[in-house]
Amino acid sequence: MKKLSEEEIGTRLQDLNGWAYDAGVIVKHFTLPTFVDAVLLLTKAAFIAEKLNHHPDWSGVYNKVTLKLSTHDAGGVTQMDIDFAQEIEKSLKA
């Protein structure tokens, strides 16, 4: 998988509300209404990760979740990370 340039990343992030490029990863911080909602988001992320065979760095504390995406083998952000972020966003609307 080809590592995207910062310009390519910026263009792709325009369609992803709240996602930002920072220190070699794309990242989004979520604040959910409850702890259960945060766990549900992490569960959705787990299913997406398995489907894409691509696993994020994540953290969750009470109702806050942070997802960081990069492709370690490529040394940065690839289209796979963008695809993962798009899947997460779709899952939030479902």
Asked if residue 52 is part of any domain, the answer here is yes
The token pair at 40 is: 């549900």
Total structural domains within the chain:
1
Enter the tokens of residue 21.
């490029």
* Confidence class for position 93, pLDDT limits 50, 70, 90: confident
β-sheet bridge partners, residue 88: none
14 falls within a domain: yes
pTM score over 0.95: no
Q: How far apart are CA 48 and CA 43, in angstroms?
A: 9
Instruction: Let me know: does 4 contact 77? Beta carbons within 8 Å.
Output: yes
Give residue 1's pLDDT: 84
> For residue 55, what is the domain's CATH number?
3.30.1360.20
Residue 1 is assigned to a structural domain of this protein? no
Q: Is the pLDDT of residue 65 over 90?
A: yes
Please give the pLDDT value at position 13.
96
CB burial string 82-94: b at 16+ within 10 A, e below = bebbebbeeeeee
Q: pLDDT digit string (tens) for 3-49?
A: 999 999 999 999 999 999 998 999 999 999 999 999 999 999 999 99
* pLDDT of the residue at 90: 93
Give the residue numbers spanning the domain of 11. 6-93
Domain presence at residue 40: yes
